[in-house]
Structure 1
């Protein structure tokens, strides 16, 4: 039987907003598996969380750079948040993003690219030696369109183009560049806030959609609903789910749009832009997502550093 720790219960509670005892039971019923426990709670009607909140676990900065019809976003990790406030590290992240804009989003190509007389990899090594913390270029992504713009937004920016979250959005259009850029910035801010999982339902992982259907069906099956009724409820529930996780179906977070979907917003601005506008892709990087950071006892660390036990 899996050991259910207080930390596991705390994580599940923070993710779902459900009470401690229910979280403990959910973990116990599902062998300590976090995702299964979330689904179990949803089937019981105790939580509607569709995805993990995803605690930020690593430090460092996200860098984003754009130039006309292309853009790049990179994540450079450090051991502590102190380094993210270091001007040398901030400059390093911005430089890495600029290199990515030139050579593409392949991490190895970025590290091998030269800046002056040294490679990016050497520049990172030099920064490690100077600042005294390990640093890594974790990932990079790029977007490009034939006609149109790629816009970016950096949330919690410490300098221009580097912060705790970076978003790129690509707009294909032959319309006015200035109007497209303004729209792109607004859409990038929406993506940062709403965290869509795909552009439209077709872009969602089929396994994710199936899991959502199974959760909905099991929830109403436990309520004694007839199978033919469950089928209709599930289809209705999926439409609601798509509005929550698909960019084009999400309601705009900007009040001026009065809750209209992003697809409706795009249609509305075509007159101002002077041509049809299509979102061809987006990228949203949040610092440290998907990385587990070892928890430590700060008091114990201080005592150890001072030679005390």
Structure 2
């Protein structure tokens, strides 16, 4: 290989991060033209990325962005912890998080947003997949507007600022004046949600399908035990109540005081003033991915 061609291959590798063999093929195919070679590899990268998208990506990062009282949250997945700690992946995720906030957590708009490299997010994602050699996905996003409620967030064991594997956003309807007690409670409640993983605020907003399925499982389990029907009915009601208490935020045992429930603490704090949980979201990297 001539020195000039070798230098072009090296330059192409530096620009794209693609392996020597693929870069040499691109340079040869495109007559030494760097720009055409980049486009050639990009097209080839799309082909590689398509195959990689069939694999499971259950590692990655959760990132939170905050401006004033507004918050956004984003989960970006990859296949291994090795890539999750790679600077290229981290930089991509950090830029995505800012774009996600600016696009109000709307995933379709995020995918078409322009990044600093002047390419769209979806095109930049394809290039990163080709470079990293792993499946990478933008899994889910959420945005909490700061106009009407007081918002809080918590990241468990952050790897860097506003970044980790598990994060919670929380929105509270509170009195006009926010006190230190309310701010502390908001932070502690985020920590509680991270640890206890509730699936709804109260029974009223617990998904009927989830509750029906749990009742069915409990009933089947008790029927197989051979117990009397009346005893089964009594035990079943107790187990259903326990499921509700363990999975609805207001009815959960407060992690800071096991003798009280979350709703008891809220009553103590609010007294005559109104305090209400408006909504919450909990993102844990890879949760629910098979």
So what's the TM-score if we normalise by structure 1? 0.66
Contact kept? 1:63, 1:161, Cα under 8 Å = yes
Task: Give 1:277's aligned residue.
Answer: 275
| Post-superposition offset of 1:133 | 4.2
Matched, 1:81 2:81: yes
Point out 4+ residue stretches in structure 1 off by more than 6 angstroms. Answer: none
Where structure 1 has 5 or more consecutive residues not aligned to the other structure, the ranges are 1-55, 293-309
Q: Measure the CA separation in 2 of the matches of 1:178 and 1:111.
A: 39
Cα distance change on mapping 1:90 and 1:259 into 2, 3 Å = farther
**CA deviation profile, 1:106-148 (whole Å, cap 9, x unmatched):** 2121122234544333443454455554422121122336433
Residue among 179, 183, 186 paired with 1:184: 186
Offset at residue 150 of structure 1 (A):
1.8
8 Å Cα contact 1:168/1:188 also seen in 2: yes
Deviation at 1:230, TM superposition (A): 2.9
Counterpart secondary structure, 1:252: coil
Tell me if the contact between 2:71 and 2:146 (Cα under 8 Å) persists in the aligned partners.
no
Unpaired segments of 5 or more residues in structure 2? 1-55
In the TM superposition, what is the alpha-carbon distance from 1:178 to its structure 2 partner? 5.6
CA contact (8 A) 2:57 2:136 kept: no
- 1:303 is matched with none
Please give the per-residue CA displacement for 1:206-237, whole angstroms capped at 9, x wherever unaligned. 22212222333334444444434433332222
CA contact (8 A) 2:57 2:137 kept: no
Structure 1 residues 152, 225: CA separation in 2 closer, same or farther (over 3 Å shift)?
same
User: Using a 3 Å threshold, how does the CA distance of structure 1 residues 91 and 195 change in structure 2: closer, same or farther?
Assistant: same
Contact 2:57 2:80 (C-alpha < 8 Å) held by counterparts: no
Asked if 1:212 is matched to 2:210, the reply is no
Task: Tell me how far apart the structure 1 counterparts of residues 94 and 196 of structure 2 sit (CA, whole Å).
Answer: 25
Change in CA separation of 1:162 and 1:82 when aligned onto 2, cut-off 3 Å: same
Cα deviation, 1:148-181, whole Å, max 9, x if unaligned, reads: 3221111232111111112111112234346344
Q: Give 2:288's aligned residue.
A: 290
Deviations 1:235-280 (A, max 9, x none): 22221111111111111112xx343111112222225xx8322111
Distance 1:102 1:277 in 2: 29
Distance 1:89 1:181 in 2: 33
| 1:100 equivalent in alignment to 2:100 | yes
Q: TM-score, normalised to structure 2's length?
A: 0.70
2-structure distance, mates of 1:57, 1:135? 7
Q: What do you get for the CA RMSD once the two structures are aligned?
A: 2.6
CA 1:175 to 1:225, structure 2 compared with 1: closer, same or farther past 3 Å?
A: farther
Return the alpha-carbon distance in structure 2 between the equivalents of residues 196 and 152 of structure 1: 16
